[in-house]
Amino acid sequence: MKRALVMMVVVSVALVAAQDLAAQKKGAGVLSGVVLGPDDKPVPHASVTYQSSGGTAPHAVHADSQGHFTITKLRTDNYDLRASGKGVFSEWEKNVTVRSGRTKSVTLRLIYAKEIPKDYVKSKSKE
């Protein structure tokens, strides 16, 4: 009986270790953050573009109604991010390191536009 119990424990530990190793090999990490406007207020539904720093094809997600975004299932790598909303853009946030099993948090600030669009000013003045 003891022998069977010991074998069950050994097999269980081996399975858990194998699952942890598989998760590390997948390299799944998370990038999360918030997009802030020129007025330092969250920008609802802003677009966040990201790509690996090595230059792979860009992808995009949208922030929620509070300006927060989350990008899941990222491989361990360095990423470049940029946000935009209502004609205003952030600088590129370069070489943001994502690690397996970790969440990296960033703040993207919209600062670039030839001029602040009237649409942006009107929507902010209603608040």
Q: Where are the domains of the chain?
A: 28-125
Question: For residues 41 and 119, what is the distance between their CA atoms, to the nearest angstrom?
Answer: 16
pLDDT in tens, 54-78: 877 899 999 999 999 999 999 999 9
pLDDT score, position 122: 53
Question: For residues 53 and 110, what is the distance between their CA atoms, to the nearest angstrom?
Answer: 21
CB-based burial label for 67 (10 Å; 0-12, 13-18, 19+):
buried
pLDDT in tens, 9-55: 444 444 434 444 444 445 689 999 999 998 899 999 999 999 998 87
Asked if 90 and 75 count as a contact pair (C-beta separation under 8 A), the reply is no
Does position 80 have pLDDT exceeding 80, yes or no? yes
At the topology level, CATH places domain 28-125 in Immunoglobulin-like (2.60.40)
